[in-house]
Amino acid sequence: MSENKKEVTVQGNGSTNEYKIIQRRTFAHSELQPSGFYVIAGQEVIIDVEGEIKGAINAVIGVPELNKPVKYLLTKGLNKLRPRNEGLLCFTNNNNYGYVKVIIKSELQPVPSFKLNETSNTDWENMMELYSQAPVVQLSSERAVIVVRYKSAKKYLTDPNALMKYYDNFIRLQDSISGLLEDGKADYKSDPNKLLYVESDRFYMFATHGYMGFNGDAALQRLLTTNNGWGIWHESGHQRQQFPYTWSGGTGMMEVTVNLYSLAVQEGLYGRASQLDKYYPKIKEYLAAEKKNFDTQDINIKLGMLWQLKLTFGDGFYPQLHQIYRIMDSLPINNGDKKQQFIISSSQLANVNLAAFFNKWGITPNEKTLEILKTLPPLDKNIWENDDKNLITIRMPQEEYIPELAYFMKSIKKTLLSENEFEFTIDRDWHTPYQYVIKKNNQYLAEIKDGKPFDCSTNLDENGLNVKVSHHFILDDLIEIEVRFAGDKYVIYNMKVYDFKLSYS
């Protein structure tokens, strides 16, 4: 049988709050890393911390809802605690990388603990029998942690291996529509802090800062099985929905945008997002009405508008829209501004003036928005007719989500041109491991590949990689910088020579 280990590796997963801010989320993920041991009130807890500590490493006694968690700052070496509260022993490490090793010296009560890819179902059954007096159980995978009372696990949990694979699968599907990658960087790195699901004694299902709660037989049965997941997907969606287009008023958008993530899971697991099928007749009825009030509509009717954009523009639409909001310099604050920015951002991403679409839905673009959109191609298809039987599509300029592109487009700085030399700087964070090709009139001049120069010279300093291309240029030459990435080519800079006296930065 796989036994609970008294040596715990506490990963540096970064600040949950910082990830929340970067990703424009309402709620943070959980910083808790459970140990598999339970602490009784008044019991001495001795913890030995090995290795270098950079930043705060904490022990936490208890998880939300089941206890009132109390945090204890740990130092290198032996730490002795005598908590007044009880609960599952957890650790936190807010460093952005690395890990510390923690050795539990006390004889604490082990609880049944399942870890995906390390624990078998047979191991789990043996632990459930051996630790039958444990107050709680814990299950973990790469992306999720579940903590429920022992009796709930005994009643509903039959296949922890399948369950935790399922959680990782659907969480990654929600990552996908959010435009987040586990091996990403900058704004598009998925939060390595896990989603925490805990048993609760209040409400039914809910999401809040750091965790989700589940109360009662119906909720716990859904939490611990894989055949009725909408509610679980929904609460998980709350942990990642973006606030800049979640406006309030009427029935609001909090319970609307959240289900983009639920639909993404349904489509990913079952091939099609069918949840809206029964609402399309009401959606058509609303769209046919002369007078419309979008704010007061049922949340499923509102969801129809959001999903029509996905049906129209494809799988790349929402990942790119999420990134647009993540890197947006000035976010909308009030409800009116949030609506107008959503119209603008959606239209600019699609390269289509979507004023007619939003008007049809009862969200009216104001004069300022119309002025911004007037240069975009007009909408020439009735995309509001998209439903479970009709599919009307429009191709976006960039259909595939490539998050690096947003940074490549801004990576070229300080360009300077003379008759015999072209100089520019590539942002320090983006000069490697990529390939940049410099062209004149569509002909190769030079390149930088993985930071190394070919047919040019370079110098790396605090500002970035400074590049010099020696060549004779004349008026009307077209100079381009092309990045080659992910099997494709993208022009990220182009300039027509019109004067050698000017800087082209």
In this structure, are 160 and 282 located in the same domain?
no
Partners of 452 in beta bridges: 449
Give pLDDT tens digits for 88-144.
999 999 999 899 999 999 999 999 999 999 999 999 999 999 999 999 999 999 999
Residue 52 has a pLDDT of: 74
Decide if 337 is inside a domain.
yes
Query: Which CATH number belongs to the domain containing residue 481 in this structure?
Result: 2.60.40
What's the whole-number mean pLDDT along residues 186-190?
97
Q: Indicate the average pLDDT of the chain.
A: 96
- Separation of alpha carbons 355 and 9, rounded Å: 53
Residues 64 and 188 in one domain: yes
Region of 481 (left: φ > 0; alpha: ψ -120 to 50; beta: rest) is beta
Residue 25's pLDDT band (cuts 50, 70, 90): very high
Beta strands at 144-149 and 195-199: parallel, antiparallel or unpaired: parallel
Predicted model pTM: 0.93
Residue 5: what pLDDT?
66
Instruction: Give yes or no for residue 260 having a pLDDT over 50.
Output: yes
What is the rounded average pLDDT of the residues 232-258? 98
Instruction: Evaluate whether 113 touches 137 at the Cβ level (below 8 Å).
Output: yes
In a domain, residue 422? The reply is yes
Helix (H, G, I), strand (E, B) or coil at 276: coil
Which stretches of 22-150 are assigned E, i.e. beta strand?
33-39, 45-50, 57-61, 70-74, 77-81, 87-93, 99-104, 109-110, 113-115, 136-140, 144-149
Overall average pLDDT of the 360-381 stretch: 98
Last residue of a domain, one of 355, 385, 415: 385
The domain in which residue 284 lies consists of: 243-253+270-385
For residue 118, which amino acid is it?
E
Same structural domain for residues 18 and 110?
Answer: yes
Structural domain count, the chain:
3
**pLDDT tens-digit readout, 314-369:** 999 999 999 999 999 999 999 999 999 999 999 999 999 999 999 999 999 999 99
CA 303 remoteness from chain centre: 20
In this structure, the answer to whether residues 417 and 366 fall within a common structural domain is no
Supply 110's token pair. Answer: 């082990």
Residues of the chain with pLDDT > 90: what percent? 93
Give the confidence band of 66 by pLDDT, cuts at 50, 70, 90. Answer: very high
**Same domain, residue pair 171 and 209:** yes
* 420 part of a folded domain: yes
pLDDT at 1 over 50: no
Does any domain span residue 299?
A: yes
Q: Which pLDDT belongs to residue 355?
A: 98
pLDDT for residue 440: 96
Answer yes or no: is pLDDT of 503 > 80: no
Considering the domain boundaries, does residue 427 fall inside one? yes
Do residues 224 and 248 both lie within one domain? no
Supply the CATH number for residue 22's domain. Answer: 3.40.390.80
Q: Which amino acid is at 356?
A: A
Question: CA 393 to CA 128: how far, in whole Å?
Answer: 52
What is the model's pLDDT at position 501? 59
Task: Judge if 71 and 188 occupy the same domain.
Answer: yes
Query: Roughly how many angstroms between the first and final C-alpha of the chain, as a whole number?
Result: 65
pLDDT in tens, 211-231: 999 999 999 999 999 999 999
Region of residue 77 (phi > 0: left; psi between -120 and 50: alpha; otherwise: beta): left
- The CA angle 312-313-318, to the nearest 5 degrees, is 115
Amino acid at 261: Y
The answer to whether position 453 is within a domain reads yes
- Confirm if 398 and 179 have CB atoms less than 8 A apart: no
For residue 262, pLDDT beyond 90: yes
| Cα(177)–Cα(407) distance, integer angstroms | 19
pLDDT in tens, 290-319: 999 999 999 999 999 999 999 999 999 999
